[in-house]
Amino acid sequence: MSLPGDRASARVVPPQEPGRAGHAGGEPGPDAGGGEIQRPRVRPAAGHGLGRRPLPPLSLYVHVPWCVRKCPYCDFNSHEPQGEVPEKDYLAALQADLEQALPFIWGRQVISVFIGGGTPSLLSAGAVDAMLASFRACLNLLPDAEITMEANPGTAEAGRFRDYAASGVTRLSLGIQSFDDDALRALGRIHDARQARAAIEMAQNAVEHVNLDLMYALPGQTLENSRRDLEQAMAFGTGHLSLYHLTLEPNTVFAKYPPPLPDDDLAAGMHEHIIEAAAARGWEQYEVSAYARPGHRCLHNQNYWTFGDYLGLGPGAHGKLSFHDRILRQARKRNPDSWMRNSLRRDGSHIAETHVVAPQELPFEFMLNALRLKDGVETGLFPAHTGLAFTAVLPPLRRLEERGLVTLAGGRLRTTETGWRYLNDVLQEFLDCGE
Ligand code: SF4
């Protein structure tokens, strides 16, 4: 939540847990109304399933599950290590995980890699180098693939960032969250504002593409403080910002002992300011939480958002893989020790769950992410990436169009500004879209 090194719990579509509808944002919207909804029948596109069309682009997500200290708002699969990070065992288990996954992706090109967590920057430069060398040896990884690594400003070192880059990392994503020391303390972060600023400079000296994760609606935060955070973040001239609303997630310390948070009106004011200030400075909001300057959009996340494929390796990592006759979802065991132990057995016991996505689930899964994209998606992407005919989603789309929540024009499907505000309601239309 690019989401750890850092990310806020509010990040949508974390690679390890894709498709959490509760994170889709938006507020309770207008009454869905309109009487009884006529449910479309979901039919495969001509040629049956994904047929002989090319499969969607394939990305790789790698989960590194350790953090120096668990943040009180974090519901990600992150753990404080008992002693040193077991780097050697982790790499061996990762290699075993990768080799067991190869039959699922034979011959396919990998367009991007995202090393997330947890705090991947706890790994030594040597470990990251070995990991990437193994990916290149075992996978058909594009020579100029985008390779992102998350990093925590509290574990940043200039030399290490440069070494990561020398090993092939092209993009660093820093969990800044705020430049206000009081806010960082309230969030239980291990870094302060000075370390945040230093980490950004180190990252900019190491790689061309740098993302900063920031959060708003923080404990005790005022509108002025949130403005100042954004101004400071934009002043660095990095290419990408991810801005998340802090939310209280179940099973976190903050859920049990909630801090004093800005009310809804103040949080909405902060959000409005972010959108306006970013646009005024030439940042494109290309997804609900993602802002980029031209040429800096995150290819990896765009692949998630357009229902591309991804292989997920590491504890708790989720994957979505297409075949010509089905789409498979997999989840690895969440507990790092169990995942390592079981992966090394090489008997598939490191996989906690595998299921074929039912055709009636595909419209919602596709729309959950595609409708978050500001530019929308080409309508042809729906049949290409789901294997279903576009007519499967036409009735709900027409209803949403009549209500001014989406537009369908020039071969593109887009959410309107109002649709974005009521995204949860928009998505609701696709929940039972088929039978
Ligand atoms: S515990 Fe903190 S540093 Fe670790 S993943 Fe969660 S938010 Fe990021």
152-182: pLDDT as tens digits: 999 999 999 999 999 999 999 999 999 999 9
Nearest residue (by CA) to ligand 1, atom 6, is 74
Ligand 1 pocket check for 67: Cβ under 6 Å = yes
CA angle 151, 157, 158 (to 5 degrees): 110
pLDDT score recorded for residue 405: 97
The confidence band for 248, taking pLDDT boundaries of 50, 70 and 90, is very high
What's the CA gap between 348 and 359, in Å, rounded? 26
| Nearest Cα residue to atom 2 of ligand 1 | 71
Q: Do 132 and 165 touch, CB atoms closer than 8 A?
A: no
Q: Which atom of ligand 1 is nearest to the CA of 6?
A: 8
Buried (b) or exposed (e) across 189-206, using 16+ Cβ within 10 A? bebbbebbebbbebbbeb
Q: Identify which of 6, 11, 152, 334 to mutate to test ligand 1's pocket (most ligand atoms within 8 A of the CB).
A: 6
- Nearest ligand 1 atom, CA 190: 3
pLDDT at 49: 63
pLDDT over threshold 80, residue 88: yes
Bridge-based pairing state of the strands 406-409 and 327-332? unpaired
Domains observed in the chain: 21-28+56-303 (3.20.20.70)
Residue 51: per-residue pLDDT: 63
Taking the mean position of all CA atoms in its chain, how far away is CA 201?
24
Query: How much is the pLDDT for 434?
Result: 57
Answer whether 74 contacts ligand 1 (Cβ < 6 A): yes
Q: Which atom of ligand 1 is nearest to the CA of 189?
A: 2
Predicted confidence (pLDDT) per residue in 378-388, tens digit: 999 999 999 99
Q: Is the pLDDT of residue 43 over 70?
A: no
Query: Is the CB of 4 inside a 6 Å radius of any atom of ligand 1?
Result: yes
Tell me the mean pLDDT in the region 231-256: 97
Q: Could you tell me if 20 and 3 are in contact, meaning their C-beta atoms sit under 8 angstroms apart?
A: no
Q: How far is the CA of 213 from the centre of ligand 1 (A)?
A: 12
What the block records as the tokens of 410 is 């020039």
All residues at 6 or more sequence positions from 358 whose CB lies less than 8 Å from its CB, including other chains: none
Q: Check residues 384 and 35 and name the one with the higher pLDDT.
A: 384
Q: How far is the CA of 156 from the centre of ligand 1 (A)?
A: 14
Confidence of residue 421 (pLDDT cuts 50, 70, 90): confident
CB of 119 sitting under 6 A from ligand 1: yes
CB of 301 closer than 6 A to ligand 1?
no
Instruction: Say what percent of the chain tops pLDDT 70.
Output: 88
Amino acid 46: pLDDT:
39
Cα-to-centroid distance, 164 and ligand 1 (Å) = 20
- Confidence class of residue 432 from pLDDT cuts 50, 70 and 90? confident
pLDDT of 395 strictly over 90 = yes
- Closest by CA to 195, choosing from 179, 210, 206, 183, is 179
Radius of gyration, CA atoms only, the chain: 21
Please determine, for residue 25, whether its predicted confidence score (pLDDT) is greater than 80: no
Q: What percent of the chain has pLDDT over 90?
A: 86
Amino acid occupying residue 59: S
Average the pLDDT over 119-148 and give the result.
98
Contact 298, 288 (CB under 8 A): no
Ligand 1 atom closest to Cα of residue 73: 7
Spatial contact of 255 and 261, defined as CB atoms under 8 Å apart: no
Question: How many angstroms separate the alpha carbon of residue 4 from the centre of ligand 1?
Answer: 5
Rounded Cα distance between 393 and 214, Å, is: 35
Atom of ligand 1 nearest to the CA of 70: 1
**Taking Cα atoms as reference points, which of 2, 116, 57 lies closest to residue 303?**
57
Give 250: exposed, middle or buried? Use CB within 10 Å, 0-12, 13-18, 19+.
Answer: exposed
How far apart are the C-alpha atoms of 129 and 124, rounded to whole Å?
A: 9
CA of 105 to the centre of ligand 1 (A): 30
* pLDDT beyond 50 at 6: no
Residue among 70, 80, 215 to mutate when testing ligand 1 (max atoms within 8 A of CB): 70
pLDDT digits (tens, 9 = 90+) for 337-390: 999 999 999 999 999 999 999 999 999 999 999 999 999 999 999 999 999 999
